[in-house]
Amino acid sequence: MAPIQRAGEAGPAGAPEQADGLRGRTAELHGIRARALAGPGEKATAAQHAKGKLTARERIELLLDAGSFQEVEQLRRHRAAGFGLEAKKPYTDGVITGWGTVHGRTVFVYAHDFRIFGGALGEAHAQKIHKLMDMAIAAGAPLVSLNDGAGARIQEGVSALAGYGGIFQRNTKASGVIPQISVMLGPCAGGAAYSPALTDFVFMVRETSQMFITGPDVVKAVTGEEITQNGLGGADVHAETSGVCHFAYDDEETCIAEVRYLLSLLPQNNRENPPRVESADPADRRSDVLLDLVPADGNRPYDMAKVIEEIVDDGDYLEVHERWARNIICALARLDGRVVGIIANQPQTLAGVLDIEASEKAARFVQMCDAFNIALITLLDVPGFLPGVGQEHGGIIRHGAKLLYAYCNATVPRISLIVRKAYGGAYIVMDSQSIGADLTYAWPTNEIAVMGAVGAANVVFRRQIAAAPDPDAMRARLVKEYRAELMHPYYAVERGLVDDVIDPAETREVLVRALAMLRLKHADLPSRKHGNPPQ
């Protein structure tokens, strides 16, 4: 005689024993859901916690507003057979999918459950993600992926690989339509790493998350190099060296809290403006500190971050790629409650020059802001592009052109402020009026020129300097004359290349007024399938 089963328990074929009547069936449903929510058991949960990692459901609870999560396909199971898979068919198939709210606004989320198949992607697992991504695009709401998976499920072969293709295709379709955020909370190896790379922002947690195409064992076998997983693709490596990671944090709780903060600065989709909030910081607040913060001497460094703090609401901003390409700052902030994207040269690092990495960093940030209707404010203090054989051979021409292309293609409000110096091609590239900035302002310390006065004098007056009885004295005199004639603060404004020279203490008020005027700006691009930006 076959053993008696209680309602909700799985039979030999994996199907639950059917109960009689609606009450019985409902009780059976609750039993099944309870098992799905519990996951693979306390032992697997303890193992996850022992690694310093939260479970998928704990992560979702941190991300979304309390009680807002609505799960879809909770009872989905794989249909694969072979290699023992037919005997192991857990609910959710290793990924939890659904939607909820963050600060009251809808957000779609999927989270790999490392306790089930190591979070590896199989056919059913991928189909759940595909469905959720399609829903996010259709609903016009952000998509957050909480990644903690071991790559493709090897037992399912090419079906698993095809699942990744479907994710990549949807990442690309959603690009510039809805915000996409990847939160790396565990390993991400091989082709799986390309989905985060296609999204708008990548968050990582130190020690527990890694990303690489080929792991340390393969690297050692092919090149002989020995390296740890964190040394190859840890959070600090990607935040400082590769630029793959935008934000890196010490623990999951802080990381997910910052994801919530980022979402508060982004619109739901490309058809909306970012949410505006009431600001207690007066729009006409003077910042007399700025009068002493920036040295008039163009060779003296200072911290541009302090300038930004003085201008934005309550001194609060979120810096993107803070530890990569530090010679340029990219940040999201608010001015009079309106979200703005700030791009600023950082004189404390490499004197604020543009190089390959700074150009790439700023170009992608400009594109992101333009895609999601975030006005751009550019703070210039740039001596030019970084000279050197390494930069030229590394393609500074095409990489610098990426930033130029991004600015020229942007249709959101664009305001530039020349804080101190703006020389050469770097001045043009950093959203000068000649490439379409709506308004350009300058402080009285500004110097706009093809190059610095000393370099210019050495080129223009080289014969006079060489022929002079005292070349150094002649050079000093001609440098002074060149600076007085062509580099005084009002040269550009007299020729219409700058709209106004302003009191630095009034910078916040001027920018707030300009943004209010440009709020309804509309600009059409030429009809085309897409551009062909420099690569």
Catalytically active residues are 190-191, 425-426
Q: How far apart are CA 80 and CA 76, in angstroms?
A: 13
Tell the burial category of 52 from Cβ atoms under 10 Å away from its Cβ (0-12, 13-18, 19+).
exposed
Whole-number Å distance between alpha carbons of 235 and 203: 8
Planar angle of CA 518, 410, 354, nearest 5 degrees: 110
How far apart (Å, rounded) are the C-alpha atoms in residues 340 and 317?
Answer: 10
In order, the DSSP letters of 344-407 are EE-TTTGGG-B-HHHHHHHHHHHHHHHHTT-EEEEEEEE--BPPSHHHHHTTHHHHHHHHHHHH
With CA atoms as reference, report the closest residue to 331 among 354, 305, 355. 305
**Chain mean position to CA 506:** 30
d(CA 404, CA 533): 10
Q: What is the tally of helices (H) and strands (E) in the chain?
A: 21, 17
Q: Are strands 338-345 and 328-335 parallel, antiparallel or unpaired?
A: antiparallel
CA-nearest of 216, 211, 213, 241 to 227 is: 216
Question: Is-contact 357 243, C-beta < 8 A?
Answer: yes
Task: Provide the token pair at 336.
Answer: 């009079």
In angstroms, rounded to a whole number, what is the distance separating the alpha carbons of residues 418 and 344? 10
With a CB cutoff of 8 Å and minimum separation 6, the contacts of 272 are 140, 373
Query: How many C-beta atoms surround the C-beta of residue 34 within 10 A?
Result: 10
d(C-alpha 166, C-alpha 123), whole Å: 11
To which residue do tokens 């070349």 refer? Answer: 471
Kindly give the residue spans of alpha helices, DSSP state H, lying in 18-157: 21-38, 42-50, 56-63, 123-139
Entry field: residues in the chain: 535
HEC-encoded secondary structure of 222-246: HHCCCCCHHHHHEHHHHHHHHCCCC
CB 418 within 8 A of CB 390: no
CA distance 19 to 31: 12
